[in-house]
Chain A
Amino acid sequence: MSETEALESMVGGEYKYGFTTDVEYEDFPTGINEDIIREISRRKDEPEWVLEFRLEAFEKWKQMEEPDWPNVEYEKPDFENIQYYSSPKKKDGKKAESLDDVDPQILETYEKLGIPLQEQKQLQGIAVDAVFDSESIFTTFKEKLAEAGVIFCSISEAIQDHPEIVKEYLGSVVPKGDNFYAALNSAVFSDGSFVYVPEDTVCPMELSTYFRINNMQSGQFERTLIICEDNSHVSYLEGCTAPQYQDNQLHAAVVELVALEDAEIKYSTIQNWYSGDEKGQGGIFNFVTKRGHCRGDNSKISWTQVETGSAITWKYPSVIMQGDNSVGEFYSVAVTNQRQQADTGTKMIHVGKNTKSTIISKGISAGESNNSYRGLVKISPRADGAQNYSVCDSMLIGQTCGAHTFPYIESANPTAKVEHEASTSRVGEEQIFYLQQRGMDEDDAISLIVNGFAKEVLQELPMEFAVEADKLLGIKLEGSVG
């Protein structure tokens, strides 16, 4: 299977990924308390310092209240009713060393999702970490990456095998008490990916993680940590799907990126969690904290996201530009249809001199959905010559959806330059008629209009995915015009 086919099946069509895999899970109680956290840590055989990290976070979380400032409406999750650890039963209780040890049903699941893990079928040029509920199932191309000195494994393995690196960086970008859901994640985080690229290294392949929530009752508390040492470079892509359930499920992730001097991290997301049905029943609550830290001079962190799924998307992938001349970028397409809600955007924090950030946000709303952009550009007093350029465009399809823009700008340095542009347009009858008159059917017409609108963002995706990502947007919006 080619990468393009893989992406197509990852993002395509009516929701094709709503199926459930019937696997046996390890028993684990629902609810959250200190004993539960100790038990998670024990099952993962973690060193003492990780347990302490979790418990401290839990203490902080208990003191916090769920914020209600975002422009979304939902029934707050019942935290006692969530299962915080959900692992398929493993042979002799260990992570699979080879594919022979992986439950064939799970292998089949990934194959159905277009992400085959078997060696002969693996995606060429892309290493994949497959995370199923709370557990990393398998990571491909590990040896090949190791030859280049790149570590790519699950965070649980990294805690076992590279504790010194994890200890140095975990929680260093998103502190344990950063916000309500980040604190919860820090207390109960399950699995996620760990990437370490040593000095002077260009990672030889695209890295990607494929997240799958299967268990109805479990939440997913992914924790990802990517570190790029001096003068190194990595491109990472994550994809997400989940089955169709009546109830909402919680995905509360924390992603931390650290770029040292002259390093560059490109992080792309194609998020296609189950978004609920047309009445707004079910779907994933995607409440995520993603932050990158340009710690070294001349470093660069770039977020690209194509957000099409989830009942609610609530996240602001951000960059702290501490190093002089460092660069932060945020390219986003957020599509909401039916009853979906999104409040997403970014924070660009300029600390170093001559730091530069770019924000390109394209929101597309259809059906009865609500789509908000919320962004902060902050220039600190010592960030001489800082520059920001922001474009926030909204597109409305139909008469019953909403689009909102909340830009915040705080500049404490008079030499800084901040530019903000915003526009709202409606896909009109005339636009569709024009394209239909040229021979395209209505769905192709909408697809073309939407892809044109989102072009600046789509072209930021890794090459292998860019072309096919085009199709996703059109498919997502099929039939959205009466």
Chain B
Amino acid sequence: MLEIKDLHVCVEEDPSEEILKGVNLTINKGEIHAIMGPNGSGKSTLSKVVAGHEAYEVTQGDILYNGESILELEADERAHLGIFLAFQYPVEVPGVTNKNLLRQAYNTIAEEQGREELDPLQFEDHAREQLELVDMKEEFLERSVNAGFSGGEKKRNEIFQMAVLQPKLAFLDETDSGLDIDALKIVANGINELSGEDNATVLVTHYQRILDYVQPDHVHVMIDGKIAKSGDKDLAIKLEEKGYDWLSKDASVL
């Protein structure tokens, strides 16, 4: 589904600063991946680059989605293909209700994918069903997007949006950070419910603890702009015990 090949990325404003230094990663349908790593290792950058953020420039390598390069596509065109990013810091849009944003988003994507658009009533039914998944009240739909939300509400809202938009490939950028244990369980439950045979999920995370609730098929560790090691869930447990240092040393040996 997604193939990242030897991806090199720098910040557009400062081409001398390379953030990703040759990332290779393959994600297939039906899989859950976790990308872990210390601060500044390039995890968040990788998610933003896949989603098409303009502040970054790909200097080498390619990103293939279902076999085709998406590097030339705008962020909205990538969204139309079914790529979703749950933001580490969800943005506030005052005066625009969650419902309006999502209905416009849903119908734009549906139109691009040749699926049926929903009228306001149909959409409301669809959105309401998804609310239960993240344990949110109905008034949540009428609130302005993320405006005045607590940190936990913002994160849950990202999962809610994912549920409504039904993406094929979702990157969740530190959706677990800053959540108390109850919220973490809700978010994890949402992720599990939404994972299926036809879609793939990538958890970008700092901590192992969300992996107690979501079972990843693959775990990757990113250090200094590269994937330093890949493995299964045991890798995450090892990281929890030993930290990242042993890998850094490993990486420098390589």
Contact = CB atoms under 8 A, between A and B. Distances in A.
A443 to B, nearest CB: 10
Interface in A428-457: 428-431, 433-442, 444, 448-449, 451-456
Interface residues of B, number: 33
Contacts of A433: 51, 53-54, 75
Interface string B87-98: 101110111100
Contact of B95 (A430, A431, A434, A455): A455
B79 A436 contact: yes
A428 B55 CA distance: 12
B96 A452 contact: yes
A233 to B, nearest CB: 29
B105 interface: yes
Interface in B38-81: 51-55, 74-76, 78-80
B175 interface: no
A358 B1 CA distance: 55
Nearest to B87: A434
Contact of A436 (B76, B94, B161): B76
Contacts, number: 77
Interface string A249-264: 0000000000000000
Nearest to B144: A452
B74 A438 contact: no
Interface in B82-112: 84-85, 87, 89-91, 93-96, 100-102, 104-106, 108-109, 112
Interface residues of A, number: 23
A433 B76 CA distance: 9
B79 A453 contact: no
B165 interface: yes
Nearest to B109: A439
A437 B85 contact: yes
A429 B91 CA distance: 11
Interface of A is mostly: helix
A434 B74 CA distance: 12
Contact of B75 (A436, A448, A452, A453): A436
Which residue, of B94, B100, B144, has the highest number of chain A Cβ atoms within 10 A?
B94
Contacts of B85: 437
Given A436-B74, A438-B165, A441-B76, A431 B104 contact: no
Contact of A451 (B78, B91, B95, B109): B95
Contact of A452 (B55, B89, B95): B95
A437 B101 contact: no
A480 to B, nearest CB: 16
A1 B100 CA distance: 27
Given A436-B74, A448-B101, A456 B95 contact: yes
A439 B85 CA distance: 11
B84 A437 contact: yes
B165 A441 contact: no
Contact of A439 (B76, B91, B95, B144): B76
Contacts of B112: 439
Contacts of B87: 434, 437
Contacts of A435: 93, 101
Contacts of A454: 95
Contacts of B100: 448
A324 to B, nearest CB: 35
Contacts of A451: 95-96
Nearest to A452: B95
A440 B74 contact: no
A82 to B, nearest CB: 41
A453 B231 CA distance: 47
Interface string A403-444: 000000000000000000000000011110111111111101
A440 B105 contact: yes
Contact of A440 (B76, B90, B94): B76
Q: Which 8 A-B pairs have the closest CB atoms?
A: A452-B95, A452-B96, A436-B75, A455-B95, A434-B91, A438-B105, A439-B79, A439-B108
21 contacts: A429-B54, A433-B53, A433-B54, A433-B75, A436-B75, A437-B51, A437-B75, A437-B78, A437-B79, A437-B84, A439-B106, A439-B108, A440-B105, A440-B108, A442-B74, A442-B76, A451-B95, A452-B93, A452-B96, A452-B144, A455-B95
Given A433-B54, A436-B52, A448-B101, 19 more contacts: A428-B91, A430-B89, A434-B91, A435-B93, A436-B79, A437-B76, A437-B79, A438-B101, A438-B161, A438-B165, A439-B104, A439-B108, A440-B105, A440-B108, A441-B74, A444-B108, A448-B93, A448-B100, A452-B94
Interface of B: 51-55, 74-76, 78-80, 84-85, 87, 89-91, 93-96, 100-102, 104-106, 108-109, 112, 144, 161, 165
